[in-house]
Each structure stands twice: as C-alpha cells, then as structure tokens.
Structure 1
C-alpha cells in the first residue's frame, strides 16, 4: 500500500464506520452523541437550520387504521379520539424541543395526521441529541423542491358522444375535491368562480329596452342581480380560506372551497421576491395553470387581446382546494418549495377532506423515504389519490423525481396532444421570398408589446451582442437580431438598446430543442420590447441578412397563427425510468397531455409576462393535473374505489401508440409506463390491482423505510407479507437479475359483472415466461391470485461492470393481458436478465478467517475470479471552521482557500481498482456537520460531473469509486455546520483513504475454492481466506467476477479486525 503520510490506525474513523454499518457506495449516517450530555442552550449567535424530525409513535392515520379495518371508509380527522390523539402528539413535540433547550418559537410546524413529528430551527448539536433520543425515528435537514388546454378534453375522448365520460356519461367531477399543492392560485380567474352571468335576451341588450315603456316592462326582470349560483355549498368540507395581501376575505367560494399558505420553511432559508404575497395568491402562475387544467370551468381564452378558444378543465365541476407551499426567490420566474412547508400542506389537505392531491413538485435526489413521500403514503392510506409529475430531467435514463418514484404515488409522464394550438407571431414583410409568420415568446422583463404598441422596422444583425455594438448608428430606429449564448439576455438587450435599437429579436440555438423560450432578467433594466424566435426561424433571417437582403419585421401583440399539433409524441424532458430509487418498481405509471397546454395565468405575475389571463406551458407539471382531473371523474362514478383501484384502472386500460421525442421510435414502459390514459376505458376496467396500508408497509420493510421498526416488520413477515419490492401488488410487473426461474404473484379483483378472464402473455425478448392459472373465473367483487414466472434464455448482455451501459439493468419489455368478452386488462412487463448474480459485499471480523460469495450464472462459458487488496487506509487529520454562508463552491487548484474548506491531495496510481475516501468528525460533542467532496483528474468523475459529493447531515461521509482514473485527486472538507463560536478552533476531523490494487502490501485475499465453468441456471460458490491481519483496522478488498473477456460483476470485501 502506498501511503502519502505516516500510517497509523484510524481508530475513530473505524469506530464510526462500524457503528454506521457501512456498505460500499452508501453515504453513511452519523455517529451518535454520547449519552448523558446536557441539553445545549441555543444562543443567538449559534447557527441554526430547519430540521424535520420524525417520531416513533404512529401518526393519527396509522393509529386509527385498525378501527378503519373494522369500519371501512375514509379517514375522519374529526372522529372520536383523533383530536385528543393529535393534541397529545403536539404536546410530545413541545416537550421534546424543551428537553434539548430549543425555545418554543423554534418550532415551525407540528405534524400529526400523516406524519408524527415537527419542523424546527435547531442547532447542529440539538439535532444530534434528537438523533439518539429513543422517541425519535429520524432527523433530516429540510430541503428545497422545485415545481416541475383547449383540445385536451377532446383528445382524451371525454367529449365523444357515444362513450365520452363527460358527453355520454354526464360525469363532471361533481362532489369531488382536488387539492392543488403548488404556488397558489389567482381567485379572480373566471374558471374558478361559482357563479356565472345570467343570459340576457338580445332584445333586452340595446337602447330599446332602456328607452321605451314596452322594453322597460318586458326586460325589467333582467335588471335584477345577473349572476346565478352554479355550485351549492360542499357538505362535509372542513377546509378554510386564509386571507392576505392580494387575497382578500371572500376570495373563496363554492368552487374554490379552500386556500391556505405555508411559508415558514422557505423563509427560514431564502428571501421572497418583492412581487410575492404572503397569502394564497399565485405570484408565479404555475399553480393557477395547474388548477385550471384539473378542474377549471369553461372560459373563452385569449392572449394579447385575441380570443383563441374555449378552455375547460378535465373535471369542470370538481371543487378546488389550494395549498400554497412554493415561493419565488428574488427575480426567479419559477417557484421552489421547502419540504417542511409541503409536508404541512399535505397534512392539512388530508384533514380538510380532499379526494385527490395534485403534486406537480419534485426533486431528483430523494426517494420513498422522503418526508413528503411518506406523508403522501399516509394520504393514500386515508383514501386520497396522490398524483405527481414524473419530473422534467429527461430524456436521461433513471431520471424520475421524488416523490413520483414512490409506488403509492401515480407518476405522470408528458406527451403531446393533437389539435390546434395558437402561437403569437411576428410578421416578416420583406423580402418577398421570406414573407410569413414566425412564432415567438416575449421576454419576461422588458416592456410588453401590449404597452408599447406595434413595432415595425428593418432588421440588423448584431451577433451575440455580449459587448457594446460597433457602428452603433446603423441600429438606430431598427430591430436588432441577436443570437443566444455567451452572456445573459439582459446584457444582450441592453447593448442593443444603447446602440439605438427599437426592439430586439433573439433567436435560440440548439438549447431547449431550438424552440423559443421566455427570456429572464431584471424587470425595468431594458426599455425596449424583446422577443425570442426558434433556431430555425432565426437562422433563416440571419441567412437573408448575410446575403445582403433587406429584411423588415412587424411585431404586434395579438397577432396569432394557428398551428396543427402532432399528438402522441413524448415531451423530450419528460423523466424516464428505470426508477432510480427502486429498480423493481416501474415508473412512470402513465402518460398524459403535457406539451403546449393552454391554461390560466396570473395577470400580475411577479417575474413573467404581465397582462395575460392565459398562457401556454409544457412539462410533466401540466400532465399531472390532466390525470388528477380524470381521476375525479372516475371517483365521481365510483366513490367506493380506493386510490390503488383508481391508479389500476388508469394503467390497465392505457394505450401504447406513443413515440419518443424523435417522433419515430416507439415509446417503451420507461418512457410512458403503462401507456397513455384512456378515460373512457378506465371507467370500466374489469379487474383492478388493490394495495393497502399493509402492502405498502411490507414494501417499506423490504427497502428499509425509516418509519417501520423491527417489531412491525416481524409481524408482517409472520402474517406472510412478502418484502421484495417486485412483490408489491401493482398493475406493472418488474423482475431483476433473472437467471433461474423467478416467480412473482399478483392479486386482482373483479369490479364488474361475473366474467372469465384468460391470460395473454407477450414475453420480453430473451425471456421465457408462463402464467398460472391461465384463466380466472370471478364473480363481481371476487379476488384471485396468479403467478407469473420468468427465466433467462441465456442471452443476457455481457458488459464490463464499469462500462456506462452496465450501470442500469438490461431491461426488456413485454405485456400480460387478462381478456374477457368485455375487457382487456393489460400490465406492462419489465424484466432484466443477468449474466451473473453475486453478493455486492461480504464481511469478516477476524485477523485470520474465511468468507464465501454465492454465484448464480446466466451464461455458458469460462469463469474467473480476480482478487485485489487487501488495503488499509492512509490517515489525515485536521480542523475546519464553520462556513457562515453554508455554501460550498469548487475553488481552483491554485486559488486561496477560505478557512472553512480544508484540502488534501491524494495521488492515485495506475492499476488502482477501488478508491474509498471517508470523513469522520472527531470532536467529543459529535455536533459538527462536515461535508466531503472529491475532485477527479481531467474530468474523469462518473457521469462527467466536476466533483463527487457526500454532503448529508451525518457526521460520517463516504465516497466510493470503482476503477478510478490515475492521477491527482483533490479532497475538500467543508465546514458546513461547526458548533464552535466565531474565532474558535473549529471542528476536528479524520480522513481515511483506501486504494485497493492488485499488489497489496497490507494483507492478501486467497481463493480457497472456485467454480471453473459457468452454465446458465447453475449456482456456485467462491470461497476466500486471509491470514495474520493487524488488529484494529478496516481492510478493503475487491473480487472481480469475469468470463475471461468481460469483468461482469464485483464484490467488496470488508474485514474489520478486532
């Protein structure tokens, strides 16, 4: 082993790793505070941050679950005993905070219904004390999440005269409440009103009705109040309407039945934009748009004063309840949301009595154990369907957001819908060969064309316009054509204005698919209007100018062109599977319209284009409310259906005739899940796949969800509940690492008349599959189980494990349908055969000992085991002070470092097979939060990122890297939260670095027994041994499993000697 400094045993670091139960590739939780420490008293100078604390005592929904089994129905927060139970939980929160020395005002929220816990401003030391308290399940840092239709109803078949849910069946969402957790709402939008103007006969609209006696007598009845009430008060509704700036008393009504806002978590971390309002008022426009898609009433939409078409929500008579938990930071055009605020919003939505939650919010770094994901689980247990946007990080694989990745959340991908869309256009009036319309988007921060009036002038090329324009006189009184890139929009437009331009036309490059976007900047910084064109149109204008032609443009508000949209094409940024958190849970679930959706807008939006009541938006945020609204129609027709039944009906009746963003490649289940929703089929699905609280708890035991203790998991195991994620009773079926026959069970329930269903199986390529039984004869309401079995044909992909393509399983797709005379109940299949299956890690604990690795082969041929290591760590120590800004940034190698960052250099030689860097805080109070960053040489970090990070709120941070590139690595220790006062010594730390290679100098692994050949379906065992290791060390070794040509898999060997 090559050591950069003198070696010594890493005692504290070893202890921390052992306490945490480390596994390769896992960021470790922190070590605990010593028992008996006195509670710290918070001081005004001690840094705090917002933590979400979960307690072990079950929340009210779980506590009431046994009673609900006896008396089925929706959870009732006003039932006998629930209020007292919730009050007791709140009291326990306050007592716990007092016990650690936190003042009463430190608490931001108490959570009681869907989650037992609280959000509070705490010091790092107080958070550390809570982590070891026996009543506490988990302590996590509050995080920020982001916000991720004129022809939609017709495109979805809702208006079909023969089968449409609205036209033929008369469903409109009456009596169903959709909770919108988003950026708020503009209550002035006509589609959210509970009244409409009474029709007045044409005869009574003119002067005759006012000036003649006969007219006055005939028409006097129409002079009374001219508004009629469309909605009766909603029975049983428990929500409330909170007033505030821009949202006066009386803003709610019988349509918009509730509006609340939650800002404590967000404002603990960020400032609000001056245009924000501490009320449910939407300063972003996103929440208003979402609400109108899901449940807005019929409105004649207009843009720029030009009437376009009538828009109607999917469930136009469903009621809307709004929970504003997302806020604009200064100058932002899209809001972000604190998890602590979102979680309280979910809890209030449950208590108020919503039926469906639309959650167009997410993050790409969470999972099913996130606090808001767990709160949505409890919402599902309470009978509420959570519908979430899948995310907009596609088309990259494994890009599904959280909480959409959770199996109890219906995750929605976005695709296009056919029909007419209306584009604002500028007019090219010269030269003759170029005349025509070009679609544009106005800038969000410049004077609008509505305010300036039409602008007409000759076009002049200005290049990138990132500096003062030469020969400024030629721009005077003309329109500047500017290319996107190299500097911000504000600088480009200001340079054009300084040169005398009367308007600016920016054109896009290859970014954003070359389409026009809304340009952002500081409102008021530029005094001339500006628009953006798409790449193709902009390059065409530039070509005419380069050819010496005179180009003339006219920009005017309200100039609209009709475009025919092509449907069933996936939105390029729509997030894709496989599920990054649990490969065995297929995501997304379904697809719905989410491209160029016309919906409501807040006219006085803080940082967007003002003065409009409608806007076009695209994204999975727009797809989710389509599904939420359709689910409201299904709920109206089937009020007894559970959230799982609603999800199942939408999935098993979906269609698959969709294409990827290129418009040519067929979409697969990782693009669209079960497929595009077909509401008219979903109303009568035949069979449904039910899943309830205990099913989800068993899944949680299998993946280690924090709210489930060993006692509960043991009880579920004794009752026969399977823990494997693929065993969860979902309408989709996924199986991983298939070699030998692997069976998965499902349970279906007939929600229609008695029928016989026959299985039709389309196995994935390279997979043999069977179903038992092949037929199900079910009476109405009857359930049955079936088993589907998969095995590999031996053609599994063989790649080196470090090949980027090997990072994801080799999924293949098929389908299983249960067909009767009236129904076809389809489930997508995603099956990944494997060339080899091995344990990811094995452990040992003695100076001399043995261990074994079980192997399952999915190929025919040779087998070889390559041993690397053993290695012990090189150790570094130091101290680092607190970063008052709590923000790490990459600092150049030759630049001076601030005192809150400590840097170590490590040289990784060629031939290194495995690199581990681990950091442990060493101060006795265990109250420091240090973060670890690793910069790779020459951009060699996986995924092309500039640095790898382990930045949790734990005391121990670990970064593991397989086959690291040789060269010099920079290791930065960041003092994210150090409890020393200013001027103190800082936090002590120990850094351990393991480099595992094929020439060990700290001990050697030996093969005691090994398989010689591989055969598909065969099993084998590799036995390993070691001798005479030093005590008190953590040794690392690596076993590479191969076929002589490819390195197929690896197993980490960890030996902690006594």
Structure 2
C-alpha cells in the first residue's frame, strides 16, 4: 500500500542558535488537566513493590506500568496530567520525569582500530586477547542472531518492544525494518568474514528500539534493569537523544549500572560540530561517552583556481576516483531537465525537493562523471544513498556551494580532483560537550566512527556515526576485562583515558577537551599501562565573579600497577591570567601502592576573559605521560537556553505532542508561528513564564494548528538577559486522514524553500 504523505512535517533548517525576534506574548495558555501522560518517578527513598502499590491507591486512575529495582529506585505510570501533578505532591522530594523517545545514532574495515590489528593484542602473559569469557550486553534495535558472523557469539537476550525472548531486528512486515543493532554487535564481536574487536566475547541482545530505530525511556531503562540482573560485564548503548543534561532517567540508570560493576559505554550523539550538543545518555557521569574520529580515509578535494573544496562522500556512494580535470556545471535541484547537458561533467546540485538518491541517479542517467550536492542551510551535511548509484555522489557546505555556483554563472569552470589521506580527525557530526549543569567533560574518548564496515541482516554494510565508535570502545573494554578480570568500570575507563592519544584538527590545533575527552583510544597502550589515575578527568565547577581569589579542589587517586617502584611528577599547565595551580611535589609509589592526591586551583574571576577554560594536567612517570583533561567555567556559560525540540503525533488522533529541553530553565518560553512570505506573526503553539530546568512534554490539539500551508516557527527561551531560538518550517498539507512523521525525505514536500 502506498504510504501517504504526513499531515505535519517539521524541517529543521538550522542547528545554530540565533537571537529570537521581538514577540508580543499572549496570555499564558492553560494545559488541559485531562491530557494523558506517561512519567517516570525516581524515588528519593527506597520503597517496596507493596509500598508503591499502596501509594498509587491514593490516585486509582493512574496506571502502573513498570517498577524498577536495579537501574533506578522508582516506577513509571500513565494517567491524566492532573493526576500526575497530584502524584508529584505525594512524592514531593522525588523526581517525576516525562518519558522521552530515544533513537539510534549510524574503505576502512573494523579489523583496524587505532592503527593496530584487532586480533594482535596480547596480555602480560603473552596470551592473545579476544574477549573470551566476557559478556557484552547490547541495548539497541535487536540483533540478527542468524548472521553467520554472529551465531557463535550470540548468548540470548530479551525484546522489550514485543515483550518476548526473541530480540530479532525489526523485519519489513513488522514496520520500518532495522539493521543498527546487528551492525553494532558486529563491531564488538563478529567472528567470521568480519572480525570484531572482541571476536570471542558473548553478546547478549536487548531490543529496546523498535521499528525505525526508536524506543521509549521505559524500554531502555527496562533493558538496563535486565542487564544488571544478567550481570553482564560490558554494556553498549549506541542510542540517545539530543538533550544535553545529566539528570535524565537513562543517564541516572547508567550510573547505577556502573555502581553495580558494569562498564557502560554510550555514544555521545551525532549533533556536532557545535558545542553543548552531547546528548543523554552520553551525559552519564560514570559511563564512557564516545565521540567519533576518522580511521585512515582518502578524502576527495576539488581544486578550482587554486582553492580547495573538501567533499564528503555520501554513505553508499562509490569512491571518488576522478583524476583528470572536468568541467563543473550547475544543475539546479538535479531534475532530469536540468541535467540534459551533464555528459562527462561534474554537476553541482542544490539540496532540496528531490532525495539524494534521485539526484544521483538523474546525474548518472545524464552521463555525469560525478555529482556534488551542496547544502541549502548553513554548514555541511552527511547523507545516505538508499539505492545503488554508479557515479560518486558527495556533499559540500552551503558557503562553498554558493561560491562555486556564482563562479560557474560568470565563466566556464574546470576543476581538478585529488585525494588527501586523513586519519584521526574528529568527525564533524560527532557531538561535543561540555555537559550543562555539571560542567563535565564529555565525550570521554573518541574512536573510529566513519566508514565502518560491519554485519547487517543478510550481509555487510559500511556506516558512520558515534553509534559505530561506541562499540569499538565496548569491544576494547571486553579485551581489558579479559586481560584484567579483577578490574572494575573505573579501572577500565582510566586505562583507556590515561593512554588515549590527544588529536589535532586539520589546522594542526589541539582539539578542546570537551570535543575529544582524553583523545582517541590506543588499545595496546591501555593493556600495558603501568599506572592508573582515577578519575581520569577533572571538573572544578563554576566560579562566580564575586568569588575573588576563590579556591576549588579536585582529588585523584594514582595507582602503580607495575611490578616495580615508580616516580611521579606533574608539569604545570600553560599559564592563564588570574589562575594559580597548586600541584604536589614529585613522589614515589611502590609496586601495587596507590595514593590520593589533592589538586588545588585558585582563581581571580575578575581577570577571566572567557566563559569556559580547559586543558590537561600532565603526570610523568618513567616513559609514560598521562594527560588528565580538566575544565572549569565562569558564571553562566554560553550554552543554548533551548535544545532538543521535536514535534510528533499525540496519543489520540486529534492531538500532537512536542518535546523540548531547557538546560537552565527559562523566564520566558514559546513556540511562535510566522507567515512564510511576510513573516507576519500568526500565533503561538505554546508560551509560558518561569519554567524550571529540564524536559517539557506537552500535547497540542489539532484545532490549534493554522490552515494548510507552510509556516516559519521559532522555538525560543529567555533567561538572564539571553534569548536563544531554534528555527524550523511547519508544513500543513491538505491530504486529510494521513500519517504524521517528525522526519522528512526531501521529495515529500515540493514547496520551494
């Protein structure tokens, strides 16, 4: 049956934060007390199942959905808004959080990690490390456990979407099919044609994300709960949302899993390259949050009159192998009519109206040598082809695309293409920190996450994303656990961070700590390290301008795990105006000895010139140098006041639901609509005053939406004199009874933008 186009589609045109327009605010709208919601209650004090049932008898209209004993001390309920508000009063000092939606985050083979052969690692006894005897739980879309490369490793699991013991990937007849979990599992432990990082590890599959790769907070927490019961050694979550906050239930549940002895690994998100974009559960303090770096890649560049333009191959594209000069022509949006003169040429195509695959296929059929699709919004993009196109198809930033288009309009343009080898560059899509509120450094490390070949149902596929980087680290954790069975999560995390390689960008400048954490993991060094420093990064918190010459302290434990005495000494960080470090003198540790050390930081905030300060403290011992990332902030840093906005179908046919995250709360918050042509203010979908920090989840009745058409909307939040906004376009079709989606294929809306 042909799929009908959605009634309401949101197209995000900018991930940057801009000043909102001056708006005239209407009276604050009141929420209907009968609106149904799902919420998770995290109890301050532990209660038995009997206590929870007794508590809910006071509000009999609330439906108990889940009780959590291991991942969280709490439960989830469904009921009317007024009843959930009443429940908040009964559990006044506990946390009542709305249920969120989580999604998956997706030639160098995974046989390489950090430049070393995966199966070439040996422990101190010279025994090969393969992950044997280590159990790795994978919370994802399920696993194709019949895949020949995964059959040996599969150790069972559970499906929290269908509530059975069959965690198979979603098949086409069940909805939008998935492959993500199988790809992740292959990176960790495939053992066949493809070799994973830990090919002898046992993989336990927890299907928490259903059709299309999405699932709820309840499902993911239930999976974490089961993993704790199953006592897995390592737990991988290549999933998340774009909410940069430490206090969402899944982040809290992951911290609990680590306290139970599980090494938790999670992807940081694919919302980069801006700062403050790392999302939950990549914000979990005790988990290992992983960003994506590039393995060794051949990057195509286009040279026009001495200027070099970097091209990004779309996933699924054939390699760019054009060596001679070609004429470059502009071909509009890539329609067949616009490509009639493309034979033998490179075509420049504007993004929009047609899917990437349609543009590429039209270019191929017209005889083009290659296709370059430039973005129609700020920055570059990373796209996918969903069918074979036998010419290379690449992406280009909006600025470079428009510059090239302008040149083509004025003269005939010929371009030479060439390849430059790149390695150890952080992928543009990789989310950056820091974490709001706690000011923690996330991600903790980075690992290869671009062009990663692995298993999928029915075969193999190359994908990219922090989803691919996290299982590299999960596999590495399995090898470390095999080499050091007595190590817990803190020691494993320390070994990876203490020995990581700090990376530099294309300009040769060191990445900031909140972009790469400690750097790209180096497995061999992690296995053979002689020292562990815990914690492996330091947060000195927030300084106020009123705190003249205030002093903050951080504590680390240094442990000598070598078989001999070792001398340790610190070197001072680069001098910063208004900052004074107090580091210990050199000291010795005997074999197996550990020492707790205080590191003091004195500051005069009145001399600060920035909002965020970061760097590394260097600890020297023998031939090793351990770099400890640190971070501190001044007053309220310049983080976005609004983030994580999404719009989707409500629980009833006549409603829609929106979600948004306010990291620091807001004095004013609104979702405003404007006419697309005149930018005349139409009205608000919602507007409020004095909201606390955290997630907002609200339903909007269908009648509140304007007449069919295309509208500009602005989601804004104002606090402490600063106002940020997210801009989108809201398209309302005239198709009547049709489905709703929060995603958009480029050929679904034909309106010219």
TM-score, reference length from structure 2: 0.69
The 8 Å contact of residues 493 and 504 in structure 1, kept in 2 or not, is answered as no
Of the candidates 190, 209, 223, which is equivalent to residue 148 of structure 2? Answer: 190
Q: Deviations over 1:783-821 (max 9, x none)?
A: 3221222334889344xxxxxxx5x32x142323141x4
Other-structure match for 1:593: 448
Q: Deviations over 1:882-931 (max 9, x none)?
A: 98323496422788978x9578xxxxxxxxxxxx94489xxxxxxx9799
Of the candidates 27, 51, 69, which is equivalent to residue 39 of structure 2? Answer: 51
Q: Secondary structure at the match of 1:683?
A: helix
Of the candidates 73, 83, 88, which is equivalent to residue 131 of structure 1? Answer: 88
CA distance in 2, matches of 1:256, 1:963: 52
Of the candidates 220, 230, 254, which is equivalent to residue 342 of structure 1? Answer: 220
Residues 288-307 of structure 1 mapped to structure 2, 5 A cutoff: 288-299=182-193
The 8 Å contact of residues 153 and 314 in structure 1, kept in 2 or not, is answered as yes
Assess, with a 3 A threshold, how the Cα gap between structure 1 residues 168 and 623 changes in structure 2: closer, same or farther. farther
Q: Secondary structure at the match of 2:475?
A: helix
CA distance in 2, matches of 1:929, 1:419: 44
1:891 pairs with 2:662 = no
The 8 Å contact of residues 141 and 170 in structure 2, kept in 1 or not, is answered as no
Of the candidates 71, 90, 115, which is equivalent to residue 114 of structure 1? Answer: 71
Of the candidates 614, 620, 629, which is equivalent to residue 460 of structure 2? Answer: 614
Measured after TM superposition, the shift of residue 393 of structure 1 is 2.0
1:653 pairs with 2:488 = no
CA distance in 2, matches of 1:594, 1:490: 22
Q: Deviations over 1:47-95 (max 9, x none)?
A: 4232212234438xxxxxxxxxxxxxxxxxxxxxxxxxxxx52x44444
Q: Deviations over 1:69-126 (max 9, x none)?
A: xxxxxxxxxxxxxxxxxxx52x4444444442237xx443332222132233211122
CA distance in 1, matches of 2:350, 2:436: 34
1:755 pairs with 2:565 = yes
CA distance in 2, matches of 1:290, 1:838: 38
Q: Deviations over 1:852-872 (max 9, x none)?
A: xxxxxxxxxxxxxxxxxxxxx
Q: Secondary structure at the match of 2:228?
A: helix
Other-structure match for 1:567: 423
Other-structure match for 2:24: none
Of the candidates 348, 351, 355, which is equivalent to residue 489 of structure 1? Answer: 355
1:772 pairs with 2:584 = yes
Q: Secondary structure at the match of 1:191?
A: coil
CA distance in 2, matches of 1:131, 1:676: 44
Other-structure match for 2:4: none
Residues 230-379 of structure 1 mapped to structure 2, 5 A cutoff: 255-263=153-161, 275=172, 277=174, 283-299=177-193, 311-329=194-212, 335-379=213-257
CA distance in 2, matches of 1:373, 1:187: 28
Measured after TM superposition, the shift of residue 769 of structure 1 is 2.2
Residues 454-473 of structure 1 mapped to structure 2, 5 A cutoff: 463-465=331-333, 469=337
Relative contact order, CA 8 A, sep 6+: which one is greater? 2
The 8 Å contact of residues 484 and 506 in structure 1, kept in 2 or not, is answered as no
Assess, with a 3 A threshold, how the Cα gap between structure 1 residues 757 and 917 changes in structure 2: closer, same or farther. same
Q: Secondary structure at the match of 1:192?
A: coil
Of the candidates 87, 103, 116, which is equivalent to residue 146 of structure 1? Answer: 103
Structure 1 window deviating more from structure 2 (129-138 vs 540-549): it is 540-549
Of the candidates 947, 959, 962, which is equivalent to residue 715 of structure 2? Answer: 947
CA distance in 2, matches of 1:490, 1:793: 53
The root-mean-square deviation of aligned C-alpha atoms, in Å, is 4.9
Q: Deviations over 1:430-483 (max 9, x none)?
A: xxxxxxx9966559xxxx9xxxxxxxxx9997823487848x9x6999999571
1:170 pairs with 2:48 = no
Other-structure match for 1:602: 457
Q: Deviations over 1:124-147 (max 9, x none)?
A: 122112111248722211111232
Measured after TM superposition, the shift of residue 495 of structure 1 is 12
Other-structure match for 1:34: none
Q: Deviations over 1:1002-1048 (max 9, x none)?
A: xxxxxxxxxxxxxxxxxxxxxxxxxxxxxxxxxxxxxxxxxxxxxxx
Residues 314-713 of structure 1 mapped to structure 2, 5 A cutoff: 314-329=197-212, 335-418=213-296, 442=316, 463-465=331-333, 469=337, 483-489=349-355, 507-510=372-375, 517-519=383-385, 533-535=393-395, 565-583=421-439, 585-603=440-458, 613-656=459-502, 658-660=503-505, 662=506, 664-689=508-533
Assess, with a 3 A threshold, how the Cα gap between structure 1 residues 549 and 746 changes in structure 2: closer, same or farther. closer
Measured after TM superposition, the shift of residue 644 of structure 1 is 0.7
CA distance in 2, matches of 1:113, 1:322: 18
Assess, with a 3 A threshold, how the Cα gap between structure 1 residues 545 and 901 changes in structure 2: closer, same or farther. closer
The 8 Å contact of residues 388 and 411 in structure 1, kept in 2 or not, is answered as yes
Q: Deviations over 1:733-777 (max 9, x none)?
A: 546538445433322333333523321223232243232253142
Other-structure match for 2:602: 791
Measured after TM superposition, the shift of residue 391 of structure 1 is 1.8
The 8 Å contact of residues 567 and 589 in structure 2, kept in 1 or not, is answered as yes
Residues 859-938 of structure 1 mapped to structure 2, 5 A cutoff: 884-887=655-658, 890-892=672-674, 901=685, 917-918=689-690
Measured after TM superposition, the shift of residue 412 of structure 1 is 1.3
Assess, with a 3 A threshold, how the Cα gap between structure 1 residues 170 and 481 changes in structure 2: closer, same or farther. same
The 8 Å contact of residues 257 and 319 in structure 1, kept in 2 or not, is answered as yes
Unmatched runs of 5 consecutive residues or more in structure 1: 1-39, 60-87, 195-254, 266-271, 300-310, 330-334, 424-436, 449-457, 552-561, 604-612, 691-728, 799-805, 840-881, 904-915, 921-927, 932-943, 950-958, 970-1058
The 8 Å contact of residues 121 and 129 in structure 2, kept in 1 or not, is answered as no
1:830 pairs with 2:631 = yes
The 8 Å contact of residues 415 and 571 in structure 1, kept in 2 or not, is answered as yes
Instruction: Give the total of aligned pairs.
Output: 615
Measured after TM superposition, the shift of residue 350 of structure 1 is 1.2
CA distance in 1, matches of 2:161, 2:291: 29
CA distance in 2, matches of 1:94, 1:469: 67
Q: Deviations over 1:2-27 (max 9, x none)?
A: xxxxxxxxxxxxxxxxxxxxxxxxxx
Other-structure match for 2:303: none
Measured after TM superposition, the shift of residue 646 of structure 1 is 0.7
Unmatched runs of 5 consecutive residues or more in structure 2: 1-31, 164-168, 301-310, 319-325, 638-652, 660-670, 701-711, 726-753
The 8 Å contact of residues 513 and 614 in structure 2, kept in 1 or not, is answered as no
CA distance in 1, matches of 2:357, 2:519: 44
Q: Secondary structure at the match of 1:570?
A: coil
Assess, with a 3 A threshold, how the Cα gap between structure 1 residues 159 and 496 changes in structure 2: closer, same or farther. closer
Q: Deviations over 1:258-309 (max 9, x none)?
A: 23222379xxxxxx9983648xxx932221111111111131xxxxxxxxxx
Q: Secondary structure at the match of 2:257?
A: helix
CA distance in 2, matches of 1:515, 1:895: 30
Measured after TM superposition, the shift of residue 502 of structure 1 is 9.6
Other-structure match for 1:181: 139
Residues 1043-1054 of structure 1 mapped to structure 2, 5 A cutoff: none
The 8 Å contact of residues 618 and 625 in structure 2, kept in 1 or not, is answered as no
CA distance in 1, matches of 2:658, 2:443: 33
CA distance in 1, matches of 2:698, 2:395: 47
Q: Deviations over 1:575-616 (max 9, x none)?
A: 223233321x2222112111221112234xxxxxxxxx2222
The 8 Å contact of residues 120 and 128 in structure 2, kept in 1 or not, is answered as no
